[in-house]
Amino acid sequence: MLHKDLLKIPEPIPIDSTDERWKWVKNRLGAIDGTYINVRVSSTDKPRYRNRKGEIAQNILAACSPDEQFIYVLAGWEGSAADSRVLRDAISRPNGLKVSIGNCQYYLFDAGYTNGEGFLAPYRGQRNHLNDWRDGHRPTTAEEYFNMKHSSARNVIEMCFGQLKARWAILRSPSFYPIGIQTQIVLACFLLHNHIKKTMLVDPLGDDIHSSGSQPNVEFSKSITEIETSDVWTSFREHLAHSMYSEWESSHCG
């Protein structure tokens, strides 16, 4: 009942943004990723909830805004479910994650997903984590530079997950409630995170680093319901990568 009040309504990065972190991802709505929350289930259900790390967990999909508020949350999927499968479910739901077709707005996510309209992924086979460019390492190609800037902008979702689990101890270890209640607890913690972000002038954690899901009621034109590679979206990423790299090289040489 509180989703429409507490989930963040997505707002694209404005065209005139000069912020170094966001200016190359104009029209970006937010960042998407999955995280595992450990749960207790019956012995017969454990194989379905066992993730690739061997933990018994839910696979939670979330989208967040640049100001570290959650836009969308889908809880309840078993830990064995692939991230791409959970995302397909999210965008196919009537009250799911919405991105309008043809308006060049998009979310950022990692290389485990498909690069397609409405969802911008980094280049595969290239360095794509912030740690790859620490200790003096520098990108040497347009693809690497794109991945570096993409990772910097996408890192906001990791910060949100870190704050969420640091704030709510019940998310750091499995509870003894039935799985349906455990799912509701997860959703409540996400919503309370947003409430804190909206009402507290200073967040003390701000600098630290059954399926259910919904997005606030927002009017959309026809929305994307599947993610497919396309020449148009591949060209969009290619043009963006080379524009970013060219400007960086010019300023660096200067």
Of 89, 13, 77, 68, nearest in space to 45 by CA:
77
Question: Quick one: pLDDT at residue 210?
Answer: 45
DSSP state of 80: T
Side chain identity at residue 75, one-letter code = A
Instruction: Examine the pLDDT at 1 and tell me if it is beyond 80.
Output: no
CB 126 within 8 A of CB 143: yes
Q: How confident is the model at residue 26 (pLDDT cuts 50, 70, 90)?
A: confident
Question: Quick one: pLDDT at residue 86?
Answer: 95
CB 209 within 8 A of CB 86: no
Question: Quick one: pLDDT at residue 214?
Answer: 52
Tokens describing residue 253:
């040489």
pLDDT digits (tens, 9 = 90+) for 128-179: 666 666 666 788 899 999 998 899 899 999 999 999 999 999 999 998 999 9
Question: Quick one: pLDDT at residue 209?
Answer: 35
Cα–Cα distance for residue pair 165/142, rounded to 1 Å: 35
Question: Quick one: pLDDT at residue 120?
Answer: 93
Domain encompassing residue 13: 3-115+124-253
**Exposure b/e, 222-232, CB count within 10 A at least 16 = b:** eebeebeeeee
pLDDT digits (tens, 9 = 90+) for 97-113: 998 888 789 999 998 88
61 forms beta bridges with 34, 74
Which pTM was predicted? Answer: 0.86
The CA-CA-CA angle for residues 62, 218, 3, to 5°, reads: 50
Q: How confident is the model at residue 251 (pLDDT cuts 50, 70, 90)?
A: confident
Number of domains in the chain: 1
Question: Quick one: pLDDT at residue 219?
Answer: 47
Structural element, H or E, at residue 148: helix 142-167
Question: 3-class SS at 159?
Answer: helix
Question: Quick one: pLDDT at residue 211?
Answer: 46
Q: What percent of the chain has pLDDT over 70?
A: 87
Instruction: Examine the pLDDT at 76 and tell me if it is beyond 60.
Output: yes
Q: Following CA atoms 72, 75, 79, 85 in sequence, which dihedral angle do they give, to the nearest 10 degrees? A: -50
Structural element, H or E, at residue 252: helix 231-253
pLDDT digits (tens, 9 = 90+) for 169-225: 999 999 899 999 999 999 999 999 999 998 886 666 655 434 455 555 444 457 888
Helix 142-167 and helix 231-253: axis angle, to 10°?
100
What's the half-sphere exposure (Cβ side, CA atoms, 13 Å) at 238? 6
